[in-house]
Structure 1
Amino acid sequence: MKKITFIFIIVSILGYTQGKENNNLDKSSVSTPLNQTTHTKKDHQIRKVKKAVIVPKLDGKMDDPIWKETLWYGLDQKWLGSSYEFNDFFGRYKIAWTPEALYLLVEIKDNILYDQHKDPLKLWWDDDCVEIFIDADNSGGNHQYTNNAFAYHVALDGNVVDLDQNQKPVLYNNHVSTKRVTNNDVSVWEFEIIVYDDSYKEGKVNDPLILNKDQKLGFAVAYNDNDGSAERENFIGSVFIPGEEKNLGWINADVFGTIILVE
């Protein structure tokens, strides 16, 4: 009887030890693939962007050769706010590239231009502004407090704001240059956008990307419209975002469209 009990105890200990080792192996086999998983964006709103032989002049006149050769695309997706009428807002854009930069032409019909915050780093999204979203490698994913992608808010006075890696607003006026010309209720904005990838570090020396044929970038553009309220009244973008929550561009680069640079 004692011999049988002793054998039972030995078998139980061996079984426990083996089970513990198998359990550890199971955990290891699960964690390794997760650590190796990389995020992949699903391309949508794929658009080819033509190269500009002559660099557009930032003058708000729309008469550069490249703008005569490219198509208008709409800013017609309501991301926030109530319905609006044509006399309140209408927007469209064109885009081109050179090896040194992206060039963006935006035409906005807005009956009231409103800039209530003179401090460019205070509630910048509640003033009228164009917002430009750039993901240099089209990788998608979270970029809220990283430089995986940028969400440049370009104010009426030309200041450019986004959040940095310390979750604080900073000026990126050396990334985006602009000229705006307004006649009556129509404003023409021209932008030159220097593209930086996710290696960008605030306060350091950073080399911009040299753009090339067949390169893919994540891209979207939007307009924050405020006609005199404490907060913006509408946020109107260029890309359809499914679901009820559409104010995602400043957080998730998956919602950006995809542009392909061609000659």
Structure 2
Amino acid sequence: MLPGSIQITGEALSGAEIKDICDSLKENSVRLLSVRGCQLSDRDFGRVCRGVAESHSLAQLNLNLGVVSTIGRTKQLADALKANRSLQTLFLHGSPLLDAGLVTLNGALSTHPSLVSLDLGDCMLGDEAVRLICGMLPPDGAKSGLKELTLSANPAVSTQGWARLAIAVAHSSQLRVLNLDYNPLGDSFHVILHALSVMPSLFLCGQVFLDMVENYPTSLRVLVLAENDISPELQQQISDLLSEGEEEEDKDGEAHGLPTQPSQWNSSSSQMVLMTSGLGESFLAETEM
């Protein structure tokens, strides 16, 4: 029997329901587990984490909307992720992690061999968290590096923090989708960028991302910047440059006799800069794998 899915939203989970979930995880009969917005005791959360640690089939885990509500639960999740080797997508949107939570999760997230999609939107993150996330982007040995990242609605990150992220994306990442909607990235915010820690250069925050896609090789094809007060002219420039990058990839592939049909991570139809989406219209939609 092929692994299936368990999807529960906004319910108070009983001990019997938790037992069924844990048994399914341990039997490797679950590919997608979603308990978004659910209420469960600390003891039961620990049981689920142990099931995640033992599962070899789990590919997507959705703990959105406050399920990971304490530093204790964050530590339990980190331990589970250190043992797990199958997880590809992790949703933690709306979890009050703060920078301390990312510090706790960092070791597990940055070394996980299969994780390619991560949602940390509305997690009350700051610059220290962004610094750690930058380290998750490049491939390194056994891990492939992130291909999809959501950092929507984390307004505590400073313009310096976003500049750090832009540089990391430009230089060493495999990132294809980046969601930054509902953050104060507007054109009017000045950022100091230090090139190799010497001569500082002054940019506007929207221009940081324009500079990234214009001057550095990047895999980025979807950049979500909705509700950031970035001028339409700058939006269009970024979009045009991403389009040019996609066209060059297609030409290179044809020149080397490589297939050009869209794949999961490389599709010309997905290349875009999204500026005006509403809440919930995320490219990391909560769908079955």
User: What TM-score do you get using the length of structure 1 for normalisation?
Assistant: 0.24
Q: Computing the radius of gyration over CA atoms, which structure comes out larger, 1 or 2? A: 1
Pick the structure with more strand per residue: 1
Pick the structure with more helix per residue: 2
User: What TM-score do you get using the length of structure 2 for normalisation?
Assistant: 0.22
